[in-house]
Structure formats: C-alpha cells, structure tokens
Copies of this chain bind each other. A is one copy, B any other.
Amino acid sequence: MELVPSNSLKCTSPEDGRRLAISLALQTSLAIQPDEHVQAIIRDAYTNNPDGLIAASQVVAIEFATIAAANNYWR
C-alpha cells in the first residue's frame, strides 16, 4: 500500500497541496486497519456524523500545514 502518492510532498500549487492533504488524512485509517469493514464504518461516519467530519477536517488542516511548509508556502 502506497502511503504518500508519488512518494513526494512537492506540490505545484496550494490547490494541489490541499488535495494531497485530504488524500493523506483519509488514507491513514486504511493504513492503520487495512480491511473493507473499516472503510465502510468510516464512510458511514462521514455521511451521518458531523463530529466525524469536523474531526477529519482537523486532520486535513494539520497535514496541510506540513505540506505548505514543505513547499515553502508556494511563495
């Protein structure tokens, strides 16, 4: 299982970096517990549970901070 797409934090733009942040954040659950059942309960949590979505948004924000620093904030 590939944990970091293209094995790189280099992103051409903030938009690209945001996409990577979301991808990293969502992939971790599967890396921790690689089975189909987990995917189903996580997907359900995102569909019906606002707390799960807000918590996932926080994970995305933390991953994005790292990616933005890695790309020197696209300055």
Contacts and interface: CB of A to CB of B under 8 A. Distances in A.
Interface of A: 2-4, 7-9, 13-15, 17-19, 22, 24-26, 28-29, 31-33, 35, 37-38, 41-42, 44-66, 68-70, 73-75
A21 to B, nearest CB: 9
How many copies, total?
Answer: 6
User: Majority SS of interface residues in chain A?
Assistant: helix
A4 B9 contact: no
A60 B28 contact: yes
Most chain B CB inside 10 Å of its own CB: which residue of A7, A37, A57, A66:
A57
Contact of A25 (B17, B29, B61): B61
Given A18-B3, A32-B46, A53-B33, A73 B69 contact: yes
